[in-house]
Amino acid sequence: MERFQPFFIWFGESALFFKQFFVCLFTQKFEWRQFLNQFDEIGSRSLILVGISGLAIGVVLSMQFNATLARFGAESMLPSMISLSVIREIGPIITALVVAGRVASGIGAELGSMRVTEQIDALDVSAVDSFNYLVVPRIMAGIFALPILTVYCDFIAIIGGYIGILIERNITLQEYISAAIRFLGPDDIFPGVLKTTVFGLIITFVGSFNGYKTTGGTVGVGLSATNAVVLSSLLIIVAEVVLVKISILFF
Amino acid sequence: MIELVNVYKRFGTLQVLNGVSLTFKTGENTVILGKSGSGKSVLLKHVVRLLDPDDGSVLVDGKNIGDFKLHQLMEYRKTLGFLFQGAALYDSLSVFENVAFPIRRHTKTPDKEVEDQVMEALGWVSLTNAAQKMPSELSGGMRKRVGLARSLILKPKVMLYDEPTTGLDPITSNEISDLILNLQKQFGTTGLIVTHDMPCAFKVADRAILLSEGNILFDGGITELENSNEPLVKTFYETSVAKRPELSL
């Protein structure tokens, strides 16, 4: 049982950290300026990375599906296949994993270095609640930025799908779009977009927790950044399984 | 008045504070001396409640700060200034923004006045020409001086200095010691000064405390260090004087 003690300690600290987030969110003044800075950092500065990933995924999906559908003579279904798979699953998960790599490590390293250089203590001594100032705005920015980034990724991936089709055959953009949205309904769009709020929470929570609790100097900062990426990516995949099951039940 | 009552603190197997009881009188400069690892910085961190004691209590004007609610703790901390060993400047802010941070957070001072106050504070530490630099562009000594300007800008009632002159040249060290002394004289600031710098200690201290392995070995006037019968106190004093003969009393 002693072997599992560190895990239980970690789990307990995470739970208290999560509780503190809600306590601060609902009892303290919201740091709007910090929120906007973090929204820019997590959102705007991820646009290029998310866009490139979305485009590549769209092109690849288009080429793969085209070959498969051709066997059944169902090439006309290709735009719908692309839009449905991108919007329901691939767009959200790709966006979350790409942002996790960039943002979770960034938050882990930034807060970690602030911890080991006593900047977090300096905030506390200056009568500024460091948790409310540093952690709450980051988590809220993640929750709001991820759905927007996902919609952007979905759009770019669908355009990527069109480029993939153009390599094989000729089709106008108007024909492609009208075919792509033919079978799309709100129950395809909303679950996919909404679940990314959970992914945003996971990425920024794990990054903040690892950074804020950093110990052990510069080695600790490196570990916090690495752990933040590994753990947030893993949790996103686990959460995806759970959220898919929930969305099937409700939509 | 700040009191530590029977404070114990342990990290793992290491007992850092071992039942320390002390009273810091208002308006007095107290220098805390001791070998590295003797618990000096840990003691300071208890005063601002960055650390909680395992046992015992820290009282401010008779109230236990361990019982403070968050808003009470914040109000208490607004009356304090803390100079960290490594200065703890905010990396993402310029020198100007670092020094302006406490004013902008806790007062509604107009921008022009903020600028005047920041430049005045930077003037105290001879760094007015570094206002637009980032912390990464500063030397260790400059960082420490900016940290000092930031902690002094709201003219706190109690100032805690964790090695204020370490890493500074003798001339700047002397200027910083003068500044600590002036603050006490001008504003009646209570000073808790952790230092190894004996010239600074002799200049600013009304009272000296020597910590060793979490216990208080000496508590008295700085000039009484010489007459102590405690062997470690004698060694500490003699070593300091041997290094700096001009300190001989």
pLDDT in tens, B195-240: 888 888 888 999 999 998 888 988 988 888 777 777 877 787 777 6
- In the block, residue with structure tokens 């719908």: A80
- Residue B249 is predicted with a pLDDT of 47
pLDDT digits (tens, 9 = 90+) for A3-33: 888 889 989 999 999 999 999 999 999 999 9
Tokens 């973090």 locate to A38
With CA atoms as reference, the chain A residue closest to B50 would be: A121
- Chain A residues with CB under 8 Å of B70 CB are 129
pLDDT value, residue A196: 94
Interface of A with B (CB under 8 A): 113-114, 117-119, 121-122, 124-129
Specify the pLDDT at position A100.
95
Q: Which of A117, A119, A125 sits opposite B77 (nearest CB)?
A: A125
Q: Do B88 and A127 touch (CB under 8 A)?
A: no
Q: Which residues of chain B have pLDDT under 70?
A: 240-249
Select the more confidently predicted residue: B58 or A171: B58
For B:16-55, CB contacts with A below 8 A are 45, 48, 50
Would you state the pLDDT for residue B192?
95
Say if B77 is an interface residue toward chain A (CB within 8 Å). yes
Confidence band (pLDDT; 50, 70, 90) for A84? very high
Q: Quick one: CA dihedral B33, B34, B36, B40, positive or negative? A: negative
Q: Do residues A207 and A104 lie in contact, with contact meaning Cβ atoms separated by under 8 Å?
A: yes
Q: Is pLDDT of A200 > 70?
A: yes
Residue-level pLDDT at A171: 87
List pLDDT tens digits, range A33-56: 999 999 999 999 999 999 999 999
Query: What residues contact residue A226 under an 8 Å CB cut-off, 6+ apart?
Result: A105, A108
Cα B3 to Cα A234: distance, rounded to the nearest angstrom: 49
When CB atoms are compared, the residue of A113, A117, A126 closest to B101 is A126
Q: Name chain A contacts of B85, Cβ cutoff 8 Å.
A: 118
**Mean pLDDT value across residues A206-220:** 94
B3 touches B22 (CB < 8 A): yes
Among B74, B144, B146, B153, the residue to mutate for chain A (most A Cβ within 10 A): B74
Residues 6+ apart with CB under 8 A from A200: A42, A96, A99, A142, A143, A144, A145, A146, A147
**Res B223: pLDDT:** 81
In this prediction, residue B243 carries a pLDDT of 56
Q: B78 and A124: CB-CB below 8 Å?
A: no
Percent of chain A with pLDDT over 70: 99
Q: Compute the nearest-CA separation of A13 from chain B (Å).
A: 17
Query: Closest residue of B to A113, CA-based?
Result: B91
Can you tell me the mean pLDDT for A52-62?
95
